[in-house]
Amino acid sequence: MKVAIIGGTGFVGAHLVRHLLDAGHTPRLLVRPGSHDKIERLADCETVPGTVADQAALTACLTGADAVMYLIGILREFPAQGITFEGLQYQGVVDTIAAAHATGVKRFILMSANGIRADGTTYQRTKYRAEQALKSSTLRWTIFRPSVIFGEPLGRMEFCSQLKRDIIASPLPAPLFYQGLSPLGAGGFELAPVSVHDVAAAFTLALTDSRTESQTYSLCGPQRYSWKAILQTIATASGTSKVMIPAPVLPIQTLAGWLDRYPWFPISREQLQMLLEGNVCTENDSFARLGLTPTPFGVAQLSYLG
């Protein structure tokens, strides 16, 4: 099966291309100028030069494909550089839907995100609106909503590697964020990290399993971990230990309000807000519905940090 992939050179995309090739499919990637060297098995893939903002490139990428997968997601936006949630997480999906209709591609698999909602952050709202646009189309759709994704970075940005670099390797104590005045329970909000291999496996399965059509799957790992436990696990996997202290989030949010427009500032206001909300699945049966067994999160699975 020939699969058009929008966002195929990113972290999830790189692992997904591996899974698709191993399953006998042919990935066709929309590739920004200068990004061909990011494709691990270039000779086995088809590529179309262009960006998601180029409707002609989207149409060329989808022409002759049997299905399309949209993977693009960003954690922060930088409007001065043309990097926005609106453009990449919503309008790009709308334009790809239009390209699918124009080229006769009927199957569309979308990577959304766990915890999105209509009244959330800009990140959450644009993901939510993209889902609604796909659901209101005539395409045969499947939506996956992963929690935070971990796995070998392959030279890309990845959740645990970024925390190792920004927090564990820092000479400063690790912050256990908390809201309000009391530090009791600092760092207690929970996440359910999911393996990138499991996410890629779910996408690959959905291509040929008609039961996944018109379905939304929240993809979380099999266990919940507090922020504190996640930092401890990353430190141990990195061969070190880390001092951790309670950190009130309000001063950091205030500082981010002034500085998160700059790429060198490590976190944005919206990222802090979503982090404190936690990221776990309220109904954690999606992998069972797919017939897959999710990978646990632990030191052994983070060997790439060592």
Residue 100's identity, in one-letter code, is A
Dihedral in degrees, nearest 10, Cα atoms 134, 140, 146, 149: -110
248 Cα distance to chain centroid:
27
- Contact between 106 and 77 under an 8 Å Cβ cutoff? The reply is no
- Contact between 227 and 188 under an 8 Å Cβ cutoff? The reply is yes
Three-state SS sequence of the chain: CEEEEECCCCHHHHHHHHHHHHCCCEEEEEECCCCHHHCCCHHHCEEEECCCCCHHHHHHHHCCCCEEEECCCCCCCEHHHCECHHHHHHHHHHHHHHHHHHHCCCEEEEECCCCCCCCCCHHHHHHHHHHHHHHCCCCEEEEEEECCEECCCCCCCCHHHHHHHHHHCCCCCEEEEECCCCCCCCCCCEECCEEHHHHHHHHHHHHHCHHHCCEEEEECCCCCEEHHHHHHHHHHHCCCCCCEEEEEHHHHHHHHHHHCCCCCCCCCHHHHHHHHHCECCCCCCHHHHHCCCCCCCCCHHHHHHC
pLDDT for res 263: 87
Between CA 212 and CA 220 the distance in angstroms is 17
* pTM for the predicted model, two decimal places: 0.96
pLDDT for res 283: 82
Beta bridge partners of 67: 3, 107
Between CA 140 and CA 159 the distance in angstroms is 31
Q: Pull the structure tokens for residue 204.
A: 């690959």
Q: Does domain 2-152+194-219 have CATH number 3.40.50.720?
A: yes
Percent of the chain with pLDDT over 70: 100
Residues of the chain where predicted confidence (pLDDT) is lower than 70: none
Cα–Cα distances in angstroms (integers) from residue 116 to residues 58, 128, 195, 274, in the given order: 26, 6, 20, 10
pLDDT for res 266: 85
Between CA 285 and CA 289 the distance in angstroms is 6
- Domain extents in the chain: 2-152+194-219, 159-191+223-280+295-305
Phi, psi of 177 (to 5 degrees): -65, 145
pLDDT for res 80: 86
Phi, psi of 219 (to 5 degrees): -105, 105
